[in-house]
Each structure stands twice: as structure tokens, then as C-alpha cells.
Amino acid sequence: MKAINPATDKLIKDYDEHSPVDVKNIISDVYDEYLLWKTTSFEYRSKLMHKAADVLRKNLDKYAKVITVEMGKPITESRAEVEKCIWVCDYYADNAEKFLADEIIESDAGKSFVAFEPIGAVLAVMPWNFPFWQVFRFAAPALMAGNVGLLKHASNVPGSALAIEEVFHEAGFPKNAFRTLLVSSKLVKDIIKDDRVKAVTLTGSEWAGQSVASTAGNELKKTVLELGGSDPFIVFDDADLPSCVAASAKSRMINAGQSCIAAKRFIVVESLVKQFEEQQAEIMRNMKVGDPLDENTQVGSMARMDLLEELDEQVQKSIKMGARLLCGGKKADGPGAFYLPTVLTDVKKGMPVYDEETFGPVSAIISVKDNDEAIKVANDSRFGLGGSLWSRDLKKAEAAARKVESGAVFINGMTKSDPRLPFGGIKKSGYGRELSSYGIKEFVNIKTIWIA
């Protein structure tokens, strides 16, 4: 399993994969640990989870560099990612016991209540784009609930996978409360089928979600899926354009555009579209693209060259179909998977950048006649993960946000994940929720207890 620096095309390290026998032994060890871990107190788990946050704090630069070197995001963004992992560890350490407290419900019983109990080993199949955050937002609530974790990470970030395991072990968690499996995707089905694995959470592509859900469904195992997104960035006719445009560029370019909840379709009323496209293109063409370890870099490399080639194919097909290129539209000169920040306008239904998820630094601007059409176009997608809406009239914006088909809508702000708020999608963006009190209850037994 090779880790290659996408900014230099150079090998970082070649890791030995776990064999099928290794995997079975690890699952066995994790299951045995669960029988002990589930009996521990919230106070004990909280103490260890706060220690995990401390390990991340003390090694912030070390872990940020692991992220940047393996998948190419700017070092400043990698630090922010580690800081967010610290936040989610502390958040669940402080709140898990409250979230999972018995819920008294009045019935015909002398006493009746709902208890929330752990279910066992949860397998996490995780992506490369936020290699620490995606894992910690699963692991912190799962471990605090009394479950144990198995991580099958993306094959291009094995160093991140092992570093996360290291964090929990250095914090004092039992060795087998959280384990990393260095395996290829072809072994995931067999892992799901193992009776000792009780549930699966996946963040990834639509195809990966279908594959995991199919296997888990046959085994009658719970799944949570966070899949692709083609988030609308809706600009009403009364939007504050300067702040709106600045946020649009930032939202599209974070992680070189490789984010499920990045703004991807910029739906702008025709009275503002010319100003919007000119101002966004001006910001994008002046962003600094370069060495992800440089503190001044704004856009790093994409994670792999094949991903860059797929993105470029979407762009070129859309241009041939009538989209107008304002900037970018090609790979940067030199080595590495660097794609120039790209703005396309005159985007129409049927073009790849309208219909498909574009996972890279490409903005697709769609002009609409009015606010009502903007909502219709926003909902004209098979995805429904997140979105943002821009208007000075907050009452009107809130009413419109209720009509947007997605798991979240941010008004006059960038779409983002926050430990305090539930996160997840609808339609082809998946199902289930992570984060908040909702996320920790996805992988527990919601048990009714009735006493005469």
C-alpha cells in the first residue's frame, strides 16, 4: 500500500497490508475488548477522550504535516482540520453522558424509560479528503457511547490512518478499542459479513455507498452513509454581493474543491450574474496555487492525478457543450496534481458540471431569472447534502431555505460541519446523521424498559 505525495509525485512510504488472517485476528481482539469497554463509565471514557484531544494539541503540526504530505491540502487547512478534531473530542467528552441519559416516558407502566446502550464494533470506511476529521467525527461519539472502532481508511492515506490509531493509544485507550485495518476495498465485504462487526459508517462516493449498503443490508446491519454532494450556492436578487462573492470563492476552493459540502453550483439571479461571475473569477485567478507546505499557499494539489484527469474531462465536455471559461480550465505546469482554479459560466442542464459532482477547484455558474427559479434549479439534482442561500431579507431567506431539498442550508454563510449540529444528507447524498446528539444515537440500541 503506497502513500504518494500528490504535490511531488514522490513515494512517501510503502506500507505492508494486513492479510485476511490479520484482519480476522484484529476483529477478534476488538470484539473481546468491546465486552470490557462497554462496561466502563462515562467518566472514564470522558477522561480518555479529553486526553486524545490533548495528544492532538501537543502534536498539531506533526499531524497536520502527515495530512498535507499524503493528500495535498495547504498546511494551514491541515492545521485547521486537526483543531476541529480536538473540538469534536472535547465536545463528546463533555456531552456524551447527557446525550445518552435515560429518557423517562409516561405510559401505563409504573415506570417506563428509554435506555441508550452500545452495540459493539462499528466499521468506518473513510475517504482521503479530510483524513483526520472524517474519522474523529465517527470515532469520538462511537467510543464515548461504549462501542469500539475499526477503521478502513482510503488506500492513499495509510499514514493518517495509523496516526489516528496512535492518538487513541497514546491517550490511554485500550489497544483494541480502536484499530486500523490496512486493507484494500475488496476485503470490505468480508469484514462487514463478520458477525462481530455490528454496523458500518461510510463517507465516500455514491458507488461506494451503494456497495456497502447492499452488503450491510443483506447482513441486516445498520449503516450511516455520507455520500456525494453538488451543493447549491443560491444568490437572491437582494444579496450582499461583496460578502457573497468572497464566501463563494472560499467555499469552492477549500481543500482544492475536494469537499462533499463545498459549494459547487452557483445559482445566481440574472440581475446579478454578470457582476458575480466577474468578481468571482477575479478572486479565483489570483489565488496562489503551489507547494502545500508553503504557509502562503491558498490552493494545494488534488489528491491523485487520476482525479485531476476526471475533473478535467468534466470541464472540457462542458465547454464543448457551450459553457464559457472565465479562468483556469487546465492542469498547472510542472509536476504534481495541481489544477488551476476554474470558473465556468453559461452552465446549463445536461452539462457534466451541472449534472454531476465536480470534486475539485471548479465553479459552475448558472443564471436564473428570479428567486423562485433559483430554488427550482437548486433542487434539480440527485444530491441533497448541503447548500447556502444569500439574501438581505432574513425572513424571506428562511422561508426559502425550508424549500431547499438538502440536509442543511446555511443563510448568508458558508456550509460547514459543526460538532453541535447534525450533519448528513438526503437523496443520493446518503442517509443517517453524524455529529450533535443525533449522531451519537445512530449506533446505539434504543431500548425500551417498562416496569409494572
Is residue 77 located within the same domain as residue 204? yes
pLDDT value, residue 356: 96
Residue 388 maps to which CATH number? 3.40.309.10
| Residue 434 lies inside a defined structural domain of this protein | yes
Map grid coordinates 496562489 to a residue. 288
Which residue is catalytic, options 226, 357, 405, 442?
226
Query: What cell was used for 66?
Result: 502527515
pLDDT value, residue 198: 98
Name the pTM for this structure: 0.96
Is residue 135 located within the same domain as residue 166? yes
Rounded-to-integer distance, Cα 256 and Cα 337, Å: 11
Is residue 144 located within the same domain as residue 267? no
pLDDT tens column, 234-251: 999 999 999 999 999 999
Place 53 in a pLDDT band, splitting at 50, 70 and 90. Answer: very high
Query: What mean pLDDT do residues 88-111 have?
Result: 98
In order of 32, 89, 98, 163, 419, the CA distances from 47 in angstroms are 22, 11, 15, 20, 19
Percent of the chain with pLDDT over 90: 100
Question: What is the total count of domains within the chain?
Answer: 2
Is residue 190 located within the same domain as residue 55? yes
Is residue 160 located within the same domain as residue 237? no
Is residue 249 located within the same domain as residue 346? yes
Q: Is 226 a catalytic residue?
A: yes
pLDDT tens column, 143-191: 999 999 999 999 999 999 999 999 999 999 999 999 999 999 999 999 9
Query: Taking the chain, what is the end-to-end CA distance rounded to the nearest angstrom?
Result: 58
pLDDT value, residue 63: 98
pLDDT value, residue 145: 98
pLDDT value, residue 263: 97
pLDDT tens column, 247-301: 999 999 999 999 999 999 999 999 999 999 999 999 999 999 999 999 999 999 9
pLDDT value, residue 337: 97
| Residue 344 lies inside a defined structural domain of this protein | yes
Is residue 248 located within the same domain as residue 318? yes
Is residue 361 located within the same domain as residue 223? no
Place 361 in a pLDDT band, splitting at 50, 70 and 90. Answer: very high
| Residue 423 lies inside a defined structural domain of this protein | no
Residue 113 maps to which CATH number? 3.40.605.10
Is residue 178 located within the same domain as residue 294? no
Is residue 218 located within the same domain as residue 235? no
Place 350 in a pLDDT band, splitting at 50, 70 and 90. Answer: very high
Amino acid sitting at position 158: P
Is residue 53 located within the same domain as residue 201? yes
How do beta strands 222-226 and 197-203 pair?
parallel
pLDDT value, residue 11: 96
| Residue 360 lies inside a defined structural domain of this protein | yes
| Residue 424 lies inside a defined structural domain of this protein | no
pLDDT value, residue 154: 97
Q: Rg of the chain's alpha carbons, rounded to an integer?
A: 22
pLDDT value, residue 120: 98
pLDDT value, residue 428: 97
Map grid coordinates 480536538 to a residue. 86
Q: Is 260 a catalytic residue?
A: yes
| Residue 127 lies inside a defined structural domain of this protein | yes
Q: Which long-range contacts (CB under 8 A, 24 or more apart) does 431-434 make?
A: 431/224, 431/225, 432/201, 432/223, 432/224, 432/225, 432/226, 433/224, 433/407, 434/137, 434/138, 434/141, 434/201, 434/224, 434/226
What range defines the domain where residue 358 resides? 231-418
When the pLDDT of each residue in the chain is averaged and rounded to a whole number, the result is 97
Query: What mean pLDDT do residues 386-393 have?
Result: 98
Which residue is catalytic, options 85, 89, 244, 260?
260
Is residue 245 located within the same domain as residue 369? yes
Query: What mean pLDDT do residues 371-397 have?
Result: 98
| Residue 63 lies inside a defined structural domain of this protein | yes
Query: What mean pLDDT do residues 17-44 have?
Result: 98
